[in-house]
Structures are given as C-alpha cells and as structure tokens.
Structure 1
Amino acid sequence: MPCFRCGARQTDPSRGASPWRRGVRADRQVLVCPGCQSGRDWAADLDGCAACGSTALVSRLGEIECRDCGHTREAVPAGPADSAGLVRSGAPPGDGGLSEEVAAALTRVLRRRP
C-alpha cells in the first residue's frame, strides 16, 4: 500500500519497527511515509476518534477502532469514490503503474510469454 499523500511505496525496514505510520482517512486504512511525517502536520489529514480526538485509528472488518481509548464505530460504506477522492475498492487513483509492474513480475516468475 503506498503513502496516501505522496504515493511512495513501503519497503521492508532493515531491522526493528517500520518508520511508516498507519491511520484512517475517510474510513479507509492508509499509510504515511517517513518523508511526509517530517513535513507539516500530517495527522491533520487523518480522521480523529469521536470519543477522544486521537488519530491513532485502525480500520478492520467494517469497523474503526481507536488505539488510544478503545472506542469503536462502524465504518461508513461509500460508493466507488468518496468526497476525499479515495477509491473505496480496487487500486487507488494513479497507482503509479503498480498493476503493470505486478503483471510483468508474474510473467517473469511464471515464465509466460507476453
């Protein structure tokens, strides 16, 4: 999953915890890369908890849970694209050619002819 702000793709950390942060925006789980975290107040772009205001939210199985206070709520279903411009299913707009890269990798690994 790419960074929701700049589209950078996550790579495996050499050791230890990942420097990437998770959050929820428009009821959808998103990642924030270390570069975007060092910029302006990136947490302002994320949804906040209705109970405590924290942005430490996770989205799982149709519900949103606050990691700070434990408050949960049902995720609001939306159409193909919501007001924030996020696609609710499938690849995000402008996936940077990821679909083509995956298809090319599968072709190489499975030794298919194009």
Structure 2
Amino acid sequence: MQDVKLARTQSLLKEILPSALANLSDTRLNALNVVDVRCSRGKYSAEVFLSMPFANDKEKAEILKQLKKAHSLIKEFCLEETGWFRCPDFKFFFDGSLERENRLDRIFEILQKERENKEKES
C-alpha cells in the first residue's frame, strides 16, 4: 500500500513540476524537461531528474544554481496545486541516460558499418 502512495506522489510531482518550471521568469528553466521524480520513503525529499540535451556543462551548472534559488517558489506552486500540507524538498539533477543511449546508438551504427564493409571485402 505504501509503494502505491509513493508511486502516486512521484507521478503527480512529475506531472506538475513542468508547470512550476514554466511559471518561473528564467527562460532556461522554462525549457527543462522533467524525466523522472524519485521520492524518499517518508516523502521528505525528492530527486528530480531533468533533461536539457543541448546545454553544455557550464550552462547546466548555472541552471542548477538558479533552481536552488527558485526552490521555495517551486515548493509553493506544488503545495497550491496539490493541496498538500507539506511538500518534499527538491534536489535537481541532470539525467544523462538519454545522452548515453544516443552515444551507444552511434557506436552500434559504426560497428554495423564496419561489419558491412568487411562483408563487402570478403
């Protein structure tokens, strides 16, 4: 039963966090995609995984800094939207899984081309 409640909380946060980010005045924060949300067991904290594939490391560091500053505004928005008594503390991270997946796809394409070239030579 507890896992179902936790999953519902995570799902709801994943749904409303993009709206919270869209309401902020920084256009870089408006463009962020929420990939996943993982709450702690007691729902005191939540790890929010974000995606912004075209940002470099310097831009990502600046975005995380701005998110830390906007933390209270984001919590306030979530409390208003959900009607909860309290909201988890958010910790923001950039999700690198999509980038790793794309890198693996490129490696597989290169290996496939090499294999095809060897077959043609034989």
TM-score of Structure 1 vs Structure 2, range by shorter chain: under 0.3
Bigger RCO (CA 8 Å, 6+ sep): 2
Give the TM-score normalised by the residue count of structure 1: 0.27
- Of Structure 1 and Structure 2, the greater helix share is in 2
